[in-house]
Structure 1
Amino acid sequence: MYYILQLPPFLLLFIIFVLFGSIGVAGVYIFRKYIRIRYKRAHNEAVGFTFAILGGFYGLLLGFVVFFVWDSMKEGHNNADREGSLAKGLYRNIRYYADNDPAQRELMKSYLKYVNYVLYKEYPDMEHLRSQGDSGRLYFNDVFYKMEKLKGNDVRMAEMFEQLNELATYRSLRQLDGDSAMSIEIWVPILIGAFILLVSALMIDMESVRLHMTITAMLGIFIGMVMYIIILLDHPFTGKIRIEPTGYRDVITMTHDVDRSN
């Protein structure tokens, strides 16, 4: 799936259109050449009525699936944006809290190690659909450990602990969003439904072979278009329209700006 999603979106859409449209055309050709059915007018009306019912139910099914993956991707965007905002806010608090305290400098080093790990290890792993290891948790726990060594017990320190806890929450949500994908148990009924709908379209009796091929190809292309939308939305951290670690990149940019100003 990773290599498929690396294709430019419009190229992937074109390939899916050609694939599903060709399946429709080939189906009409094979059905008319090798399968002989003696149609009566009542038969064709029954096939058309059944096709309309199946199409309605299948369209409803695909609508629910598209809504589900769209909502999941939207939630993934929101969680990643919230995590990035917390990462930037926590960086500012650490940077300007007791600047002369050696514990603050150690905390900043640990925090930047964690930020770099997320930016250059976690997000690339999520992009390549690789499982997450325990290294990120160790980096994050080290930030907690170093923060406990800070001197003082004021409002800003309490705010930093609160931000760090919220950051842990949204990091976990982001990882869950990256690991979640439609299972094969969901894909199989969707593909079986597409097959049944195309077979129903093949059974409709039309005098014009070209018209039959055109209509079936259009049906296949429409099904392929919905599949394309599901594939793109089901992997929010992979592909050309993936979620980017914008907040963490801003932290690195702010670090470089501070270093240049000093």
Structure 2
Amino acid sequence: MLRTLVAHIYPPFIFLFWITFFLILTKVLFSYKRNTMHINAEMHGTRLVVSIIGGLFSIFLGFVTFISWTNYKEATDLVAQETTQIYTTWENSRGFPSPIFQNIDKMLHAYVLSILNDELSSMKKGNASSITQDASNTLYSEFLKYHPEDSFIQSFYNRAISSLNAATETRNQRINMLNVIIPTAWYFMILIGTFTIICVSIFLLEGIFVEICIHVMLCIFLSFYLTAIIILSHPLSGLITISNEPYKALISKMNA
């Protein structure tokens, strides 16, 4: 569900949804409180407990946001690492005889283009690409069919196949990142905690302008945290996702 949400809605709209929802909730509950409830404003003990709970919840939100950001950064690093390994494979294959290099060059181009044109789009939907997997298998078959004639070419072959193995392993790690790192139960905890903090803050409001401003800032910060966690939890699936520029740059280098 969250993957679909991230894939089809821009982050600013998610943020606007949360802030609008919280402000409407504030207006409704505050009106209800004024009309039906009479809460003593001098509840220092209650306010202290709420402040402590709010502080602990803020630490938890910060921790989850940090994990999500780390996950996003790791995905970006994997893409840079993968393109470097593919380029190293291509560079070493240039030491092969011309007919062999031409075949491998075509297959490497097809492999990278399949990532650009198919796999990145498939990963936005939570799936790997069978086309990219087929291109990888074909590339491996070509390497396995070739037997270097001398030790000089063998050294290039060893480095090329080693880089190809590393690129394949990095691709597998990239695909594994489709699995969301944050447990589902944490999302429920975040939602419950957010609504609890908002509701308690509303019932402690006295209608003073400064308190209202502070409450609005609380709504803004919580909306930002919720949006950031949702977006960063799916670094390969959203409209704002990891850049495909490293793959485009790789194609340009291989065509140079």
**Do they fold alike, i.e. is TM over 0.5?**
yes
With 178-187 and 58-67 compared, the bigger mean Cα shift is at: 178-187
Measured in 2, the distance between the counterparts of 1:191 and 1:243 equals: 26
Gaps of 5+ in 1: 258-262
Partner of 2:33: 31
Query: How far is 1:46 from its partner?
Result: 2.0
- 2:160 aligned with 1:136: no
Secondary structure of the corresponding residue to residue 242 of structure 1: coil
* Percent identity of equivalent pairs: 19
Measured in 2, the distance between the counterparts of 1:242 and 1:218 equals: 28
After superposition, the C-alpha distances for 1:154-212 in whole angstroms (9 at most, x for unaligned) are: 21110011101110111111112234353432210000001111222123262x36555
Measured in 2, the distance between the counterparts of 1:19 and 1:237 equals: 27
Query: How far is 1:47 from its partner?
Result: 1.8
Would the alpha carbon gap of residues 199 and 156 (structure 1) be closer, same or farther in structure 2, given more than 3 Å must change?
Answer: same
Query: How far is 1:66 from its partner?
Result: 1.0
Partner of 1:118: 115
Query: How far is 1:3 from its partner?
Result: 5.2
Partner of 2:163: 163
Listed as ranges, the matches of 1:147-162 within 5 Å are 147-152=143-148, 154-162=154-162
- 2:55 aligned with 1:56: yes
Query: How far is 1:54 from its partner?
Result: 1.0
- Contact 2:82 / 2:167 at 8 angstroms: preserved in 1? yes
Letter of the 1:105 counterpart? Q
Partner of 1:260: none
Measured in 2, the distance between the counterparts of 1:214 and 1:33 equals: 22
Query: How far is 1:64 from its partner?
Result: 0.8
Partner of 2:175: 175
Aligned counterpart in structure 1 of residue 96 of structure 2, from 90, 95, 98: 98
Measured in 2, the distance between the counterparts of 1:24 and 1:4 equals: 26
CA RMSD of aligned residues (A): 2.5
Query: How far is 1:113 from its partner?
Result: 2.1
Measured in 2, the distance between the counterparts of 1:57 and 1:239 equals: 30
After superposition, the C-alpha distances for 1:23-78 in whole angstroms (9 at most, x for unaligned) are: 333332233234x245273xx11221111111111011101101111111111111
Would the alpha carbon gap of residues 28 and 215 (structure 1) be closer, same or farther in structure 2, given more than 3 Å must change?
Answer: farther
Measured in 2, the distance between the counterparts of 1:194 and 1:220 equals: 9
Would the alpha carbon gap of residues 191 and 11 (structure 1) be closer, same or farther in structure 2, given more than 3 Å must change?
Answer: closer
Secondary structure of the corresponding residue to residue 201 of structure 2: helix
Partner of 2:20: 18
- Contact 1:25 / 1:214 at 8 angstroms: preserved in 2? no
Q: If the length of structure 2 is used for normalisation, what is the TM-score?
A: 0.85
Secondary structure of the corresponding residue to residue 125 of structure 1: helix
With 6-15 and 116-125 compared, the bigger mean Cα shift is at: 6-15
- Contact 1:25 / 1:217 at 8 angstroms: preserved in 2? no
- Contact 2:107 / 2:139 at 8 angstroms: preserved in 1? yes
Measured in 2, the distance between the counterparts of 1:17 and 1:205 equals: 18
Secondary structure of the corresponding residue to residue 219 of structure 2: helix
Partner of 2:219: 220
- Contact 1:73 / 1:236 at 8 angstroms: preserved in 2? yes
Secondary structure of the corresponding residue to residue 178 of structure 1: coil
Secondary structure of the corresponding residue to residue 178 of structure 2: helix
Measured in 2, the distance between the counterparts of 1:115 and 1:78 equals: 17
Q: If the length of structure 1 is used for normalisation, what is the TM-score?
A: 0.83
Partner of 2:195: 195
- Contact 1:107 / 1:146 at 8 angstroms: preserved in 2? yes
